[in-house]
Structure formats: structure tokens, C-alpha cells
């Protein structure tokens, strides 16, 4: 990377194309998800070495439960395996891992693994890595509104005290800066209910590469694109 390039502080990625990657190779979809998991590990390392401080990936949405049960079960088993491996990976790479989304629908053993991973990595000072599991942007906002409403009803907060900052503090991403850059692989140009609040001023990049093939070079291209943009945040420059 060129020394004078602006590196996004926070990159969010929609991991799209695992199924198509497998289909193109006459493999079961589950193989695509497994390869996609390996790509996540690579990108975490590459992003941190480039200077990215926060990385958030969309792993399983609230809508993904409607997929065939066999695929959902395979994804949950892959998640179980990844959670165990991630404790070692987070320690090796000094990476703090947080899971965002509604964890209550996940199996009890997965919830326990998430708690163990977050606890084991909470003091790490390297890359801040967020994984969205059973996550939906609308669901996140609804849950935040319910929390705020409970505080208003309890007299802990007044309606006039509700601000952008208060809402952000009740989202799953509380304390995490909004993404500077969103990447969605496989050339699909939509955000699919991902980080609806947080992506308000993000730059969007839609490469054709399928997620399992996403490489360091593809990440560099995304950052080049980011550098070509003039961010105005609604103002004039």
C-alpha cells in the first residue's frame, strides 16, 4: 500500500457469493461457506496489517433462517467450529471479537461459545472484529427502541433526551465507529438489512469477485476506490 493512502478506520463486508462459488465448481453449497470462512481469516490479517482498526462482517442474517434446514444446520455447525478456532486466532493475532445480532435465537451451546470468545478476547488491542450473526438492521433498531422505551418508562430517561447519540448507544455496535467503507462481493448492489443506521455516510463498493476468492489484492482495490471518493457528509467542500 502507498504510504499516503487514506486507510478506512472501519470496513464492513457483506460476504456474498459462497453458494455461487460452490455451484461453479459443482460442489455442495456448504463447501462454499467453509471456504468463505477461510477467506474471513485471511482478510482479518490483511486488513489489520494495512492499518484497518475495525472490521465487521455479515455472517448470518435474521432472514437466513428461511433457507433449507440442511443448509442452516451446516452453517450453525460451521459457526460452532469457527467459534472454537477463533479463540486461538484472536489470541494469536491480538484481535478483539464481538458478536452483534440477536443471540437469543441461537442454540445454547453457541451462545456459550460466543460468551467465552468475547470474554477471552476482550482485552486484546489489535483489530476489533465484529461478526453479525442472526443480525438484521431493522431488528437491531427495534431492539434499541425497546431498550430506550423501558428507560423512559422507568423514569431514567425523558423523551426530550433521546438523541442520535442515545440511539447509537443502544445499538449492538455501541462504542464502535460507523463504517467508512462497505464492501459487498459478487457484484450485488444492495445492503440487505445490514447496519441500516451505521451506513448512513459510508462509501459502497461492489466488486464482482465471489467472497471465497476475495484476496489481499481485492482489499487493496477496495481501499483504492475509497481513496477516489470525496466524503462530504452532507456538506460542501
Residue 227 near residue 2, CB atoms below 8 Å: no
Q: How far apart are CA 196 and CA 183, in angstroms?
A: 14
Confidence (pLDDT) at 84:
86
pLDDT tens column, 3-58: 688 999 999 999 999 999 999 999 999 899 999 999 999 999 999 999 999 999 99
Point out the catalytic residue in the list 4, 16, 24, 85: 16
SS (H, E, C) the chain: CCCCCCCCCEEEEECCCHHHHHHHCCCCHHHHHHHHHHHHHHHHHHHHHHCCCEEEEEEEEHHHHHCCHHHHHHHHHHHHHHHHHHHHHHHHHCCEEEEECCHHHCCHHHHHHHHHHHHHHCCCCCCEEEEEEEECHHHHHHHHHHHHHHHHHCCCCCHHHCCHHHHHHCCCCCCCCCCCEEEEHHHCCCCCCCCCCCCCCCEEECCCCCHHHCCHHHHHHHHHHHHHCCCCCCCCC
Residue 158 lies in a domain: no
Q: Is residue 85 part of a domain?
A: yes
Residue 4 appears among annotated catalytic residues: no
Question: Does the annotation count 134 as an active-site position?
Answer: no
* C-beta of residue 210 within 8 angstroms of C-beta of residue 139: no
Is residue 233 in some structural domain?
no
Is 217 inside any structural domain? yes
The per-residue pLDDT for range 183-227, each reduced to its tens digit, is 999 999 999 999 999 999 999 999 999 999 999 999 999 999 999
Residue whose cell numbers read 471518493: 229
Catalytic residue among 30, 64, 77, 139: 64
pLDDT band at 115 (very low <50, low <70, confident <90, very high): very high
2 part of a folded domain: no
Residue 148 lies in a domain: no
Burial zone of 68 (CB within 10 Å; 0-12 exposed, 13-18 middle, 19+ buried): exposed
Residue 104 lies in a domain: yes
Provide the CATH number for the domain around residue 186: 3.40.1180.10
Domain count, the chain: 1
Mean pLDDT of the chain: 94
* 169 assigned to some structural domain: no
Say if CB 206 and CB 184 are below 8 A apart: yes
Kindly state the average pLDDT of the residues 165-182.
98
Q: In what order do the strands lie in the sheet with 54-61?
A: 96-100, 128-135, 54-61, 10-14, 181-184, 203-205
Q: Containing domain of residue 189, as a range?
A: 10-136+177-228
Confidence of residue 237 (pLDDT cuts 50, 70, 90): low
User: 72 to each of 2, 92, 100, 133, how far by Cα in Å?
Assistant: 42, 30, 18, 12
Which band of pLDDT confidence, cut at 50, 70 and 90, is reported for residue 231?
confident
The pLDDT value recorded for residue 235 is 61
Amino acid at each position: 500500500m502507498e504510504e499516503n493512502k487514506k486507510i478506512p478506520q472501519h470496513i464492513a463486508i457483506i460476504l456474498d457469493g459462497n453458494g455461487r462459488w460452490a455451484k461453479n465448481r459443482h460442489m455442495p453449497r456448504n463447501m462454499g461457506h467453509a471456504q468463505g470462512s477461510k477467506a474471513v481469516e485471511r482478510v482479518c490479517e490483511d486488513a489489520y496489517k494495512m492499518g484497518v482498526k475495525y472490521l465487521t462482517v455479515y455472517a448470518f442474517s435474521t432472514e437466513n433462517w428461511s433457507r433449507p434446514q440442511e443448509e442452516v444446520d451446516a452453517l450453525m455447525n460451521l459457526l460452532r467450529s469457527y467459534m472454537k478456532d477463533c479463540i486461538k486466532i484472536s489470541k494469536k493475532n491480538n484481535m478483539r471479537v464481538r458478536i452483534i445480532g440477536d443471540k437469543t435465537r441461537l442454540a445454547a451451546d453457541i451462545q456459550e461459545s460466543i460468551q467465552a470468545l468475547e470474554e477471552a478476547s476482550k482485552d486484546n488491542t489489535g483489530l476489533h472484529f465484529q461478526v453479525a450473526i442472526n443480525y438484521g438492521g431493522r431488528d437491531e433498531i427495534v431492539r434499541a427502541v425497546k431498550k430506550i422505551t423501558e428507560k423512559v418508562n422507568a423514569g431514567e430517561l425523558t423523551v426530550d433526551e433521546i438523541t442520535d447519540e442515545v440511539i447509537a448507544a443502544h445499538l449492538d455496535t455501541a462504542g464502535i465507529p460507523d463504517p467508512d467503507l462497505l464492501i459487498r462481493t459478487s457484484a450485488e448492489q444492495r445492503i440487505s438489512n445490514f447496519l441500516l443506521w451505521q451506513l448512513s455516510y459510508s462509501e459502497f463498493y461492489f466488486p464482482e469477485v465471489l467472497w471465497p476468492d476475495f484476496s489481499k489484492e481485492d482489499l487493496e482495490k477496495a481501499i483504492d476506490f475509497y481513496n477516489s471518493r470525496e466524503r462530504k457528509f452532507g456538506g460542501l467542500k
